[in-house]
Structure 1
Amino acid sequence: MTNQSEFSQPSRIAVNGVELEVFEAGRENAGNPMVLCHGWPDHALTWRRQVPALVEAGYHVIAPNQRGFGGSSRPTEVEAYDVEHLTGDLAALLDHFGYESAAFVGHDWGATVSWWLTALRPERVSRVIALSVPYLARGDMPWVPFLEAILGADYYMVHFNRQPGVADAVLDQHTRQFLRNLYRMNLPAPTPAPGNAMINLALAQEALGDPILSDGELDELVAAFEESGFAPGINWYRNLDRNWELLGEVDPVIHQPALMIYGDRDPVARAEGLQELVPNVEEVSLDCGHWIQQERPEETTQLIVDWLARGR
C-alpha cells in the first residue's frame, strides 16, 4: 500500500492497556503533530497518498491502526471498544510522543472518534478534520433504537447489534470478495434490497463500479483482515448505545476549528445545521463517494494542507 518514502515500518506502542501498530513519518517535524485516524473496515495505510505532502508541509504524521485493526491489540470484550477506550488510546498516544495536543484527521469511524475526543478531551485536539462522517448529535433516544426506527432492523448498524456474530462470520468467510466489492467508486444508483447491506456485499459475485485499490493494495488489506477478523472492528458499532450513555454529561459543542469534507456521492448523510454544534466549522465537498481520501487523494490533501495553513 505504500513505500518507504511515505511511511516508516510500523512500531508497536503500548498505550492505555493495549498495543497499537503505529505508522509514522516526518520525525524531523517533531513539535507539529498530526494524527490520522482510519475508519471501518480500513487500515492506517488508507492515508498513504496523503503522507508525503503532509510531511512536506511540516507535520509529524502519526497514523495508528486503532484497537481491533491490523497488528494492534484485539481485546475480546465488546466493552473494550467503547468511546472511553478509543479516545483514551489516542490521548495516550499523544502522551507517548510527548505532545499536549495535535491536529486530528479522521475518516468514517476515525472521524467519529476524532469528534468524540475533541468533545471529551478538548485540550488534546488543536484542530479537527473529518472526512465523510459529520459530528453526530446525541439526541433523546439511544442510537441503535433510533436507527432501527428510521432505517429498520436490517440496517447494518442495527443488525450488528441485534444479531451479534452473524455478519462477522459471513465477512470472515468472504473477506476478499467483501473488500473487493466495498472499495469501489463511480457506483450506479443504489437499488433497495432486503437484508444487511454488508452481508449482501460479501455474498455478491459481481463488483459494481470501478476499483479504488490496486491488486497489491487489496491483497494487503485482505491479509490484514484475514489476520484480525472482522469482529473487533464491528465491536465499535456494538458500543453505540453504551457511547450514547457515556456521552450524556459531556458538553456537546465542539469549539475547536473544524473542517468537514463530504463526498457528493457518499451514502453517508450530511449533517443539517452542523454549525449549531460545531460553530467554527468549514464545510466543503468533493465529487466522489465514501472513500474520499483514496478516490480524490490530491484534492483531499490540498484541502487539508491549505485549511491548516490558513489557521496558523
Structure 2
Amino acid sequence: MTQIDWDKPKTFKRDGLTFAYWEAGPKDSSYPTLVFSHGFPELAFSWRFQLEGLAERGFHCVAMDQRGYGQSACPEAIEAYDMEALCADQAALCAELGLTEVIFVGHDWGGLIVWQMPLRYPELTKSVICLNTPYTKRAPMEPSKLYAKRFGEDFYMVWFQKEGEAEALLDDDVRKTLTYFAQKPPEADGNSPDTRAGSSLKDTLKTFDTSTARPLVMSDEAFDFYVREFERTGFRGGINWYRNFDRNWHETANQVDLVEQPCLMVLAELDPVLPPAAADGMEKFVPNLDRVLIKGSGHWTQQEKPDDVNEAIADWVQKKF
C-alpha cells in the first residue's frame, strides 16, 4: 500500500503565498491526473484513502491544503478567498506539476470549485468528478440575502457573514467543533435525528455535549490529526470562503451555466446537508453526466466509504479514458 507522510508536504508558491500538496502514483499514468479538492472543515488529508488506494491502481493523484487550511497560506483579507482565487490556486498547482489535462475531483466546498474549473479553465479540465455537491445554476439574487430570506438570519451560511463571531465560537474548543461535524449519520447507528443541516449551528454548538456524540467517521488517530491542524490555524480561513458568496455571485453575472465535459456525480445516501435529491435536474447544466450512489454514507463520503468511492472513481475513469 502506498504510504504518504502527511506531516511533510511538497510546496509551491503563487502570488507570494505558499501552498502545501501531496501526490502519489505514477506520473506517467495512462489516465489523466486526478486533482482532489477538499471542503469545510477538512484538509487534503481527507483524501488520504483516495491518494493511497488509487495510486495502487495506477492513477496519479494530487491533493493540496486549500488556502486558509492546514499547511497552506492563510491570508487575512476576506476577499482573498473568492472563487477566482480558489480556482487560480488549482490551476497554479497543475502548472507547478506540468499537468495539461486533469480530472478535478471535489467534495463539499471543493465541489463548488471543481464545477467552476471547466467554466474558467476549460482546456485544462478533462472532466469533473464531484462528491455530494451538485452543480447549481447561478442564484436569482445575492446568496446571503437569498439564504436569509429562505432560512432566517441564524442559518449558518448567513451567520458566517458576521466577521469574528463564527470563528470565535468554532475556535473556542476545536475538538468539540470537529467532533460535532465528524459524527456518523444517525441512520448508521440508530440514534437521534441529525441536526447538522439545521439552521442554528451557533446555538447547537453552544449546547453540544461531546459525551453524547455519535461515533466518528474516522479513526482516533485521523481525528487527532484534524484537531492538531485546526488548533494551529483556526477556522477563519474556511469561513472566509462563505463570506465571498455575494462577491462570487457578482463576478459570475455573465457566466454560462453549461459544463460540457464528461462528469461523474457521486451521491451519498445519508448526507443530511447535500442529499441525493439535491442533484435532481443537473443534466440541464451538465448534459454528459453519470451518477453513482454510495449507500450508507453520510456527508464525509470519501472517508466513510473509501473503498466504494475509490471503486466508483476508478471504474468510471477507466471506462471513459
TM-score under structure 2 normalisation? 0.90
Counterparts of residues 251-290 of structure 1 (less than 5 Å): 251-267=256-272, 268-269=274-275, 270-287=278-295, 288-290=297-299
Cα deviation code 1:251-282 (max 9, x no counterpart)? 21011111111111112241331000111111
Secondary structure, counterpart of 2:73 in structure 1: coil
CA distance in 1, matches of 2:33, 2:14: 17
Cα deviation code 1:8-53 (max 9, x no counterpart)? 7311211244211101112443674110111010010111112233
Correspondent of 1:5 among 3, 6, 21: 3
Counterparts of residues 40-79 of structure 1 (less than 5 Å): 40-79=40-79
Q: Residue 103 of structure 1 aligns with which residue? A: 103
Counterparts of residues 202-241 of structure 1 (less than 5 Å): 203-206=207-210, 207-241=212-246
Q: Structure 1 residues 16 and 273, CA, compared in 2 at 3 Å: closer, same or farther? A: farther
The residue type paired with residue 98 of structure 1 is G
The number of residue pairs the alignment matches comes to: 309
Is 1:171–1:202's contact at 8 Å kept on the other side of the alignment? Answer: no
Counterparts of residues 145-224 of structure 1 (less than 5 Å): 145-161=145-161, 163-187=162-186, 188-190=192-194, 196-197=200-201, 200-201=204-205, 203-206=207-210, 207-224=212-229
CA distance in 2, matches of 1:191, 1:85: 32
The residue type paired with residue 81 of structure 2 is Y
Cα deviation code 1:110-157 (max 9, x no counterpart)? 111011122211111111011111112103212111111111111101
CA distance in 1, matches of 2:241, 2:271: 21
CA distance in 1, matches of 2:206, 2:25: 37
CA distance in 1, matches of 2:195, 2:222: 28
The residue type paired with residue 261 of structure 2 is Q
Cα deviation code 1:61-104 (max 9, x no counterpart)? 11100100001000000000001100001011111111122111
Q: Which deviates more, 281-290 or 171-180? A: 281-290
Is 1:174–1:202's contact at 8 Å kept on the other side of the alignment? Answer: no
Alignment RMSD = 2.0
Secondary structure, counterpart of 1:212 in structure 2: coil
Q: Percent identity between the aligned chains? A: 35
CA distance in 1, matches of 2:3, 2:177: 30
Cα deviation code 1:202-258 (max 9, x no counterpart)? 641134322112211111101111111111110000000110111111221011111
How far residue 57 of structure 1 moved from its aligned partner, in angstroms, is: 2.7
Q: Structure 1 residues 197 and 61, CA, compared in 2 at 3 Å: closer, same or farther? A: same
2:295 paired with 1:295: no
Is 2:12–2:20's contact at 8 Å kept on the other side of the alignment? Answer: yes
Runs of 4+ aligned residues of structure 1 deviating over 4 Å after TM superposition are 191-195
Secondary structure, counterpart of 1:185 in structure 2: coil
Q: Structure 1 residues 173 and 152, CA, compared in 2 at 3 Å: closer, same or farther? A: same
Q: Structure 1 residues 195 and 275, CA, compared in 2 at 3 Å: closer, same or farther? A: closer
Q: Structure 1 residues 202 and 28, CA, compared in 2 at 3 Å: closer, same or farther? A: farther
CA distance in 2, matches of 1:199, 1:121: 40
The residue type paired with residue 227 of structure 2 is V
Q: Structure 1 residues 198 and 119, CA, compared in 2 at 3 Å: closer, same or farther? A: farther
CA distance in 2, matches of 1:284, 1:195: 29
2:87 paired with 1:87: yes
